[in-house]
Amino acid sequence: MDGIIAAPMSQRPIIIAVIGGSNAAHKDLDAAYQVGLELAKRGAIVLCGGMTGVMEAVCKGAKEAGGTTVGIMPGNNVEDANDYIDIAIPTGLGFARNAIVARAGGAIIAIDGAYGTLSEIGHGLSDGTPVVGLNTWQFIIDGKEDTTIERADNPLDAVEKALAYAEGRRA
Amino acid sequence: MDGIIAAPMSQRPIIIAVIGGSNAAHKDLDAAYQVGLELAKRGAIVLCGGMTGVMEAVCKGAKEAGGTTVGIMPGNNVEDANDYIDIAIPTGLGFARNAIVARAGGAIIAIDGAYGTLSEIGHGLSDGTPVVGLNTWQFIIDGKEDTTIERADNPLDAVEKALAYAEGRRA
Amino acid sequence: MDGIIAAPMSQRPIIIAVIGGSNAAHKDLDAAYQVGLELAKRGAIVLCGGMTGVMEAVCKGAKEAGGTTVGIMPGNNVEDANDYIDIAIPTGLGFARNAIVARAGGAIIAIDGAYGTLSEIGHGLSDGTPVVGLNTWQFIIDGKEDTTIERADNPLDAVEKALAYAEGRRA
Amino acid sequence: MDGIIAAPMSQRPIIIAVIGGSNAAHKDLDAAYQVGLELAKRGAIVLCGGMTGVMEAVCKGAKEAGGTTVGIMPGNNVEDANDYIDIAIPTGLGFARNAIVARAGGAIIAIDGAYGTLSEIGHGLSDGTPVVGLNTWQFIIDGKEDTTIERADNPLDAVEKALAYAEGRRA
């Protein structure tokens, strides 16, 4: 067993979780596609919920740039993964899988405003995973906005912010 | 095996999930206590995350009125449940247990503004479980507030709204 | 908030998890029914997977003796619980809920030989939850039987052994 | 968004789940290493629980042959993954993650006899995932051995049997 090239954590590719609804507006799908493309160009693995909408668009972008995609799926059947998922993990957990998606990346990019996305943002903020928002939910409590989510101006900005967070966390 | 009194769904006690942070302001703890008291007076079971803060206060109120309380806990140890939990379920799932809390009641009463509460509201809205809010998060997307959460004016109002939803769902 | 009777752990009712298949032989259903009856007579709460077969029979027995039953269900719908479940928790986790069932009791009584039961026995033994077997799986490794499961001769014996374990664990 | 090479299911690499204890005998670790090596030579992705023992050995073998490895981890911290995991998914679910491991592959290879392995075999058999056993548990019910697990004579035999099952399931 000599001569093996180990893959210790510092050398593993960074994983970025991208969250967003299964039914999204055209502009959000475009943004997701660009996010996937830019993440893959920078060598990051795209992890998502594995289904349609934002999840499919971000994987499509990542695959166009030759990246790797992982889908943490709610159901039991690998066949339900979108066509741009390389590694499909059918958890069978339903929406409880959102907690895994929110934890599995070095940072989260949240796009669009589905309720599942809301739960994933909540999980991410609970866990201390940095969340970068791109046209997504704002949260108000006691009349004041919670500004923990870092807002991005565009897909490239979101990618750069998320990667900076993820790199910082493993430094 | 004759003569058994079955407990079909229509005769089971209603379960209301009460969600809120483990560290909450005094006014939120007071509200949670009143919610527990009023739920128990009306025969509803209080289900929560089993820990401190809002979770403990609502159970304390429920027990004072002779009610039953269930804690769906994140950790492995039943010893971690607050002192007012009758039935402690140590899931070992961490925050993924939030998805169970959000689904297990006929309706949800959300108090206060922790991030875990945010994830549970998201899960509840995803699942179609009615959510009644008492001094909790507001959500804005595309510049407009999402008004799916029914806002309550006070603990009694929250209890009455949640029970009306839960009764309506099993009618 | 004075004068409240707390329910610290030492005063909570003991919970015993009873596991077994949704399709079981008549003798196993009879055994499960007797187990439920004897557990409830002794004040223990019966916790199970909430569905048919052994799960239904044990709850039927418990309810005949006036006991309380909890169902940790795989699906999303409380309507799927058997008619003898008082508190139905629809986890939506599929068979991953078996890990919760295996952990939630002070001890486990395993009846019959379904594959789900096998997974729950494995989870229980992993977690260090005592497992009492009643006509259930035997396990052989390296040609030798693993004798960690305590075998019971009959339902009453299983109940007494499980309660002794559960009481010992919280002493 | 033209010109993208989709990755429909029939073209995805096959995933084989390899399960076994975190503390295993030398012969089992050797077997796991050979299993990983042979799986990777044949282009299969190795998925496991991400920790030590059999999980580490199978990943070490897979990496020596240039393969890809996925770890579905019980805890919250990616740092806990063994050094031969490429894609570490920290589920935070504890042993409930065993249900995901058991479901995520086209087939399972079970090595050795830990209790967690027992739970994963149970989950696999419940789900209908083919299980190939290599020096692992035998199961007896009603005095008869359950022969649903396909026994392999050696690591290469296990790999060939598991791949045949996985290919058959997606044909």
Report the distance separating Cα D95 and Cα B15, nearest Å: 28
Q: Which residues contact B26 (CB under 8 A, 6 or more apart)?
A: none
Query: Taking CB atoms and an 8 Å limit, are B4 and C33 in contact across chains?
Result: no
Residues in B 50-69 with any Cβ partner in A closer than 8 A: none
> In chain C, which residue's Cα lies nearest the Cα of A98?
C93
Separation CA A161–CA A118 (nearest Å): 20
Give the nearest chain C residue to D120 (CA atoms): C119
CB-based contact A83 D8, cutoff 8 Å: yes
Q: A128 exposed, middle or buried (CB, 10 Å; 0-12, 13-18, 19+)? A: exposed
Q: How confident is the model at residue C170 (pLDDT cuts 50, 70, 90)?
A: confident
pLDDT recorded at residue A113: 82
Which two three-digit tokens encode residue A91? 């958890």
Enter the tokens of residue C1. 């908030």
User: How does pLDDT run across A91-123, given as a tens digit for each residue?
Assistant: 999 999 999 999 999 999 999 989 999 999 999
User: Average pLDDT for residues B108-116, to the nearest whole number?
Assistant: 94
Q: Does C94 touch chain A (CB under 8 A)?
A: yes
Residues in contact with C145: Cβ distance below 8 Å, sequence separation at least 6, in sequence order = C138, C139
Yes or no, beta carbons of B93 and D95 under 8 Å apart: no
Assess whether pLDDT exceeds 80 at residue B128. Answer: yes
Mutation test of the interface with chain A: which of C77, C91, C93, C119, choosing the one with the most A Cβ atoms within 10 A? C93
Q: Which positions of chain D have pLDDT values less than 70?
A: 1-10
The confidence band for B8, taking pLDDT boundaries of 50, 70 and 90, is low
Which residues in chain A touch residue C92, judged by CB atoms under 8 angstroms apart?
Answer: 93-96
The rounded distance, in Å, linking the Cα atoms of D134 and C32 is 34
Q: What is the 3-state secondary structure (H, E, C) of C26-67?
A: HHHHHHHHHHHHHHHHCCCEEEECCCCCHHHHHHHHHHHCCC
Position A3 pLDDT exceeds 60: no
What residues in A contact C94, CB-CB < 8 Å?
Answer: 76, 92-94
Report, as an integer, the average pLDDT of A122-140: 97
| Whether D7 and A85 lie within 8 Å, measured CB to CB | yes
* Interchain CB distance below 8 Å, C94 and A96: no
CB contact under 8 A, A88 and D12: yes
Q: Are B56 and B82 in contact (CB under 8 A)?
A: yes
B76 shares contact with chain D (CB less than 8 Å): yes
Mean pLDDT of C51-61: 98
Q: Which of A155-159, B11-15, B156-160, C115-119 has the lowest mean pLDDT?
A: B11-15
Q: According to the model, what pLDDT value does residue D165 have?
A: 98
Give the CA distances from residue A109 to residues A155, A165, C137, in Å, rounded to whole numbers and listed in that order.
Answer: 9, 11, 47
Give me the residue from D96, D118, D135 closest to C118, CB to CB: D118
Neighbours of D84 (CB within 10 A): 27
Comparing alpha-carbon positions, the chain C residue that sits nearest to A96 is C93
- Interchain CB contact of D92 with B (< 8 Å): yes
Q: Which residue of C has its CA nearest to A92?
A: C94
Phi, psi of A140 (to 5 degrees): -125, 130
Say whether pLDDT at C130 is over 50: yes
- For chain B, what percent of residues have pLDDT higher than 70? 94
The answer, yes or no, to whether residue B141 has pLDDT greater than 50, is yes
Q: What is the pLDDT of residues A24-70, one digit of tens each?
A: 999 999 999 999 999 999 999 999 999 999 999 999 999 999 999 99
Residue D49: strand, helix, or coil: coil
Contact with chain B for residue D95, Cβ under 8 A? yes
The shortest C-alpha distance from B75 to chain D (Å) reads: 9
How confident is residue C2, by pLDDT bands cut at 50, 70 and 90? very low
Residues of C in contact with D72 (CB under 8 A): none
3-state helix, strand, coil in chain A (%, to 5): 45, 20, 35
B6 CB neighbours in chain C (<8 A) are 63, 83-84
Average pLDDT of the residues of chain D: 93
What is the rounded distance in angstroms from the CA atom of residue A93 to the CA atom of residue A91?
Answer: 5
Among C30, C27, C67, C22, smallest CA distance to C46 is for: C67
Nearest CA to CA, how far is A40 from chain C (Å)?
32
DSSP labels, A36-100: HHHHHHTTPEEEE-SSSTHHHHHHHHHHHTT--EEEEESSS-GGGS-TT-SEEEE---GGGHHHH
CB pairs under 8 A between A and D: 100
Closest CA to A45 of A23, A81, A71: A71
d(CA A32, CA A53): 9
pLDDT above 70 covers what percent of chain C? Answer: 94
Interface touch B12/C88, C-beta < 8 Å: yes
Q: Which residues of D touch A127 (CB under 8 A)?
A: 76, 92
CB C120 within 8 A of CB C96: no
Helix, coil or strand: residue B62: helix
Residues facing A73 on adjacent strands: A90
CA-based nearest residue to A7, from D69, D58, D53, D14: D69
Q: Residue D63 and residue D45: Cα distance in Å, rounded?
A: 10
Q: Classify residue D139 as left (phi > 0), alpha (psi -120 to 50) or beta.
A: beta
Could D93 and B95 be called an inter-chain contact, meaning their C-beta atoms sit closer than 8 Å?
no
Asked whether the predicted pLDDT for residue B88 surpasses 50, the reply is: yes
For chain C, the three-class secondary structure string (H helix, E strand, C coil) is CCCCCCCCHHHCCCEEEEECCCCCCHHHHHHHHHHHHHHHHCCCEEEECCCCCHHHHHHHHHHHCCCCEEEEECCCCHHHCCCCCCEEEECCCHHHHHHHHHHHCCEEEEECCCHHHHHHHHHHHHHCCCEEEECCCEEEECCEECCCCEECCCHHHHHHHHHHHHHHHHC
Q: Per residue in C10-54, pLDDT tens?
A: 678 999 999 999 999 999 999 999 999 999 999 999 999 999 999
Q: What average pLDDT does the segment A143-147 reach?
A: 94
Residue with tokens 């997307």: B141
Closest residue to D90, CB basis, from A87, A93, A103: A103
Helical packing angle, D97-104 and D115-127, nearest 10°: 50
Q: Which chains touch A (3 or more CB pairs under 8 A)?
A: B, C, D
Q: Does C83 touch chain B (CB under 8 A)?
A: yes
